Chain A
Amino acid sequence: MRIPPGPLEFTRRTWIRLVLLATFVFLYAPIATLVAYSFNDSRRNIVWRGFTTRYYERAIANDGLVEAFGNSLLIALAATVVSTLLGAMTAYALWRFRFRLKPLCEGVVMLPIVIPEICMGVAMLVFFARIGWPGDLPWPISLSRITIAHISFCFPFVAVVVRARLSRFNGELAEAARDLGAGEWAVVRDVIVPHMRPGLVAGALLAFTLSLDDFVITFFTSGPDTVTFPVKIYSMVRFSVTPEVNAASTVLIVVTITVTVVAMWLQNRTRSGAPP
């Protein structure tokens, strides 16, 4: 016998289920199509003509694409490490200390989040041109312009996330550590940083994904020898949307999801069911 849904069992109502389904289709149909058509055996990416992994091989054989991918990963890693450190320190300073113009400082730190990316991009371009940042440096150092630009828009995100985490810190924990003999540094190391950790992981993830797929700001700060993955894809799409582009994009999606899953797993393991 079928039991009729209770007043709060929304997930058992047909219309709610339909809305849910529509939402998921809306969110994921384009991505699913992109992934599916990366296996399409056709040069023109419009009609399904059979399964192949040929375009993955083509993508891997494309030196320009692989180089751009390497550049993107390197930039994302460097930007993540630096912006996580900077963001964490900023958040700690804003949380721990009271000083004049603190609300203003807090606002200024958050500003890059709301400034339109196109303006950030132009500003970066003008800035590097004005100070005469050399454009012809040897390879890894040649990425420094993009990396610096990425750090500048990534670290506020880290700061926001870590700051939110710190606002839930129980001050008695720090006092208990002090009372038990810990100096200022030991309190930070043994109590505050462990509390910040979920925020650090989340912030670092955010920074990594933001940096990895940023197009606008990167476009303004990259040179002919420093092409990143999104910029490369853009230049490929300008000629034609081939399954090769789909394949490369799928790889990027897989990398992002993998990193996210690993980070979340690490976080769960270290917390071992502790209340948030």
Chain B
Amino acid sequence: MTEAVRVDGICKRFGAVIALADVSLRIEAGEFFALLGPSGCGKSTLLRIMAGLEHPDRGSVFIDGIDVGRTPANRRPVNMVFQSYALFPHMSVRSNVAYGLRVTGTGRAEAHERAEAALGLVRLAGYGERMPDQLSGGESQRVALARALVKRPRVLLLDEPLSALDARLRDEMRLELVSLQKTVGITFIIVTHDQEEALSMADRVAVMEAGSIRQVAPPAELYEAPADRFVATFIGQVNLFPATVEADGIATAHPFPGVTAKSRGTGAAHQAWIAVRPEKITMAPGGSTPAGRLSGVVEEVVYRGDLSLYLVRCMPGPDGLVRVSRANAARTADRLPGPGAEVVLDWPEDCAVVLAS
């Protein structure tokens, strides 16, 4: 695979705030890449630096292997879909989409033809004459996509493109963005704070926090083998048990000797954590055999439709609560224990991950 974008040692600060601290990243051509993180983690700044709308204090950006540090935004072979869509309110949909072509010298006829084709691509054929204020949120979103794609950029940058849409439309657009990316074959880089969005769309995800990248991995790896506590808790739900790693690489949780896991790294460590996802845990009535790793009492059941979340009290104190989720496969009858029931928890050894930090 060839690389589409590479950023090297990017640093950026706004006054006293460090937005990006030495960020390096390589994104392959044709990839659907997501920058995921909480708000203020620097992900949008990184995207804007790639677009040329922001200048890094240090570090370089390569697009198709060419250093674009001195190339202004209007000459970079990348286009952006803005969070507010930023459609020009005084131009028709067609003029909006054709703008990028017209302003760089493409003739009117050709520009309009390509604009119509781009509108067809986002399933808005026939919308050319409308004004932006006559469009719904989803339609505005598609126009913004068409406007960015019509220039056939090497890389399409999307800044929180779905955050302004309502939940139903968001699900629909997610699938559509993925299929659109397959159709046009352009590298997509999307910025989002929604972990579900990143996991369901991207080929690879970079998780960012406080100006640095914590982990870059495909979605499944991110979820099943998080690099640290931040990634583990930011993506999905997780039970974390403080633990100590012995020289043989076996980690044992302090208050729960039954909770053990094999460390991926080598060497002993005083402070580590064992992470177990709630849906990996099996739950059996108390007193059954085998005894399982933990036993406790169901404190609360949170019904969520497709699954129920059980909060099981295994020990007094804030660390003694374990989350277990179970799919509501049966309708009602054999839904598992209600509050107050004694249960035994267990999970396969390889479902527990040791986190060093």
Q: Tell me which of B5-13, B72-80, B292-300, B335-343 binds A.
A: B72-80
Q: How far in angstroms is the closest Cβ of chain A from B74?
A: 5
Say yes or no: B89 contacts A274, CB within 8 Å.
yes
Beta-carbon contacts under 8 Å, A138-191 to B: 170, 172-173, 175-183, 186, 190-191
Q: Does B233 contact A (CB under 8 A)?
A: no
The 0/1 profile, CB within 8 Å of A marked 1, for residues 216-245 of chain B is 000000000000000000000000000000
Please name all residues of chain A whose beta carbon is closer than 8 Å to the beta carbon of B88 when the two chains form the complex. 173, 176-177, 190-191, 194
Q: A170-B86, A181-B74 are in contact. Are A274 and B103 (CB under 8 A)?
A: no
Q: Which of A181, A191, A194 meets B100, CB within 8 Å?
A: A181
Q: Is B198 an interface residue (CB 8 A)?
A: no
Interface of A, secondary structure class, is helix
Given A172-B82, A173-B88: A274 touches B100 (CB 8 Å cut-off): no
Q: B103, A182: Cβ atoms under 8 Å?
A: yes
Interface digits, B73-100 against A, CB 8 Å rule (1 contact, 0 not)? 1110011101110101110000000011
B84 engages A172 (CB within 8 Å): yes
User: In the complex, what's the smallest C-beta–C-beta distance from A258 to chain B, in angstroms?
Assistant: 26
Task: Determine the chain B residues whose CB is within 8 A of the CB of A275 once the complex forms.
Answer: 89, 133
Q: Is the CB of A181 within 8 A of B80?
A: no
B83 and A172: CB pair below 8 A?
Answer: yes
Assess the A179–B103 pair: CB atoms within 8 A.
Answer: no
Residues of A in contact, count (CB < 8 Å): 24
Q: Is A272 an interface residue (CB 8 A)?
A: yes
User: Is the pair A176, B86 in contact by a Cβ cutoff of 8 Å?
Assistant: yes
A29 vs B214: C-alpha distance in the bound complex, in angstroms? 74
Contacts of A181 in B (CB 8 A): 74-75, 100, 103-104, 151
Is residue B162 within 8 Å, beta carbon to beta carbon, of the partner chain?
no
Residue of A nearest to B147 (CB): A180
Q: Which residues of B are found within 8 Å of A172, using beta-carbon distances?
A: 82-84, 86
List the interface of chain A (C-beta within 8 A of B): 170, 172-173, 175-183, 186, 190-191, 194-195, 197, 270-275
Q: Please, could you name 20 A-B residue pairs with CB atoms under 8 Å apart, sorted by A?
A: A170-B84, A172-B82, A172-B84, A172-B86, A176-B80, A176-B86, A177-B103, A178-B53, A179-B51, A179-B53, A179-B78, A180-B103, A181-B74, A181-B151, A183-B74, A190-B99, A194-B88, A195-B89, A195-B90, A275-B89
